[in-house]
Every structure is written in C-alpha cells, then in structure tokens.
Amino acid sequence: ISELEGDLEKAQRYYDLASANLSEAIVDKSTSKEAEGQPVSKVAGHNETGPLQVNRLNVEAISLLQKDRAIEAEGVLLKALDLQPNNAFTLNNLGFAREKQGELESALSYYVRAANAGSEESVIIAPNKDWRGKSITKIAERNVAKVRELLETEQSVEAKVARLNLRGVSALNKNNRVAARGFFQEAIKLDPNNAFSLNNMGYVSELDNDRESANYFYAKAKNADGNGESVGMATRRAAEGRPVGAVADSNETVVSSQMERDLLAKRRNKAPVELKTRDLSSQPPSNRLPQ
C-alpha cells in the first residue's frame, strides 16, 4: 500500500521488516498471481529471481532517483535488468538514470528498448510524477521523442558544456578518471571561462596529486562565469547545493594548506634531493653541472 501511495521509503522499510520475518505462512490470495502459494517471507524479499524482486529493485531505484542519486540507481536497475532483460519499467528507468547523468545517447537506447517491449501496464510509481497512471509504452515513446529532440536541438556551447561536465562527474563517480578528464578538457576548450569545468579540472588534478595545477584551476573557477550557480551532482556530497565559486574557494584553501605542509616536510628532510624527469621517473643525484 505504501508503494502504491508513492511513499517509497516507508514501503522499503516494511518490505525489509517482512523479509526479516522467517514465518512460514503461505500467501492464499494476492494482486500478483506469482505470489500465491509462496511463503510471505519469500514474497517480501527473499525471492532473488522473480518479477517481485524486479519490482522491489525498481522501487529502490526510483527512491534513489528522487534524491538525485542517479549512479546508485543505475547500479540497482542493472541488477533488475539481469533478472528480466526485457522489463519495460526497468528499461525506461535506466534510460531516465542515464539521462540524468548527461548520457543522452545511452538513455535513448534504453527508452527505445522500453517502447519496443510493447507493455500496456500502467505506471504506478515513477521518478517523474507526470508518468503516473499512463501506459509504460506511451511514456517510453514520449521519452524517445524528447531525447531525440534534445540531441538535435541542444547544440549551443552552454548546453554542450553542461552535458560534458555532467558526464565527467558521472565518470568520476564510477572511478573512471581518464574519461572524466577528457570530458572536462573538452568542456574547457568550448568555454575556457566556465566555473564548473575549471573547478572539475582542479579536482581531477588534485586526485592526480598535481596540487599546483589544482590550485590554478580552483583560483580561476572562483571568478569565472557562473561562479554563483549551485552545484548539482558532485563527487563530494557536501558540495551539492553550494555556489560553485564557494566550492572552488574551499578547495583552493585545502590544497594550499596541503602544499604548505608538504613544503615544510621537505625542508625538514635532510636526504639528498631526488631528481625526476618529465615522465616522473626518478634519476640518481648527480654532482655534474648541466653543460
């Protein structure tokens, strides 16, 4: 009932309580024919392979999507897709999760698969309230048309940069630093004075222990275009909702403090100076002067 009323957190809590109960009571009548004849504890969550488990995973994912946690939702939905590869609800929700991460091409492919599944079941709970009560096929078809239009019309520099930043943050949250750097670099090429791109490049540089570059990007981000806009999806949850300029300022302060500590540690270290080549490989100390 909580699920049907859209209270996903309460529904999840009741399901967890029911699945923890080891009662051997058998379901006599149910709105789902698959549940009839099954133990209540199995129906409530112990069944790891059937449509009921797929439904629960979708409920969990929608709850995450409503909290803007698209990457976590995607992981849950992929588990559901392994159980039922052609489930229209799972496919449509996966498309929505990918769209939230700026991956429009991938989102489109999931929406198309959802539309082609041909299900006429109605949407009861959804990350988008406008979907409720409508056929899942109609919703998927509408999403296909919307994403195709976005791909055709959103060609402004601002839209492209926003998508690249979104894709980069998503890649970072999936521990794909190489892809993230590529997205941020491409965004900076399109708009060298975008606060989000500069701050994100600073963060990647910080992860690479290149603190000088990180501070350079953070310093530029503080005064760049859009520095007053709020951060949406981020790798650090504490940054979400704050002005990107303020986040860059905080990041710069942290990195500067770390650089100062590193410098003091080096000054206290009396060991011979270790020389490094441009590819960062170590070279033994040499008493010879350069020619």
Give the pLDDT confidence of 235-253 residue by residue, as tens digits.
666 666 677 677 777 777 7
User: Are residues 179 and 171 in contact, defined by beta-carbon separation less than 8 angstroms?
Assistant: yes
Residue 115's pLDDT band (cuts 50, 70, 90): very high
Of 193, 192, 169, nearest to 180 (Cα)?
A: 169
Residue of 9 and 287 predicted with greater confidence? 9
Q: How many helices (H) and strands (E) does the chain have?
A: 12, 2
Q: What pLDDT digit, counting tens, does each position of 120-146 carry?
A: 888 887 888 888 888 999 999 999 999
- pTM of the complete model: 0.63
The count of C-alpha atoms lying within 13 angstroms of the C-alpha of 187, restricted to the half-sphere facing its C-beta, is 27
| Range list of H helices, 21-126 | 40-41, 51-65, 70-83, 88-100, 104-116
Residue type, 263: L
3-state class of 135 per DSSP?
A: strand
Q: Where are any strands of DSSP class E within 61-216?
A: none
Over residues 45-63, mean pLDDT: 73
The CA distance from 205 to 185, in Å, is 12
Close Cβ partners of 193 (under 8 Å, ≥ 6 residues apart): 220, 224, 225
pLDDT of residue 46: 47
Q: How far is CA 74 from CA 70, 78, 101, 208, in A?
A: 6, 6, 10, 27
Residues 136, 88 contacting (CB under 8 angstroms): yes
CA distance 186 to 69: 25
Closest CA to 151 of 114, 197, 111, 116: 111
> How many angstroms from the chain centroid is the CA of residue 63?
14
pLDDT band, very low/low/confident/very high, at 285 (cuts 50, 70, 90): low
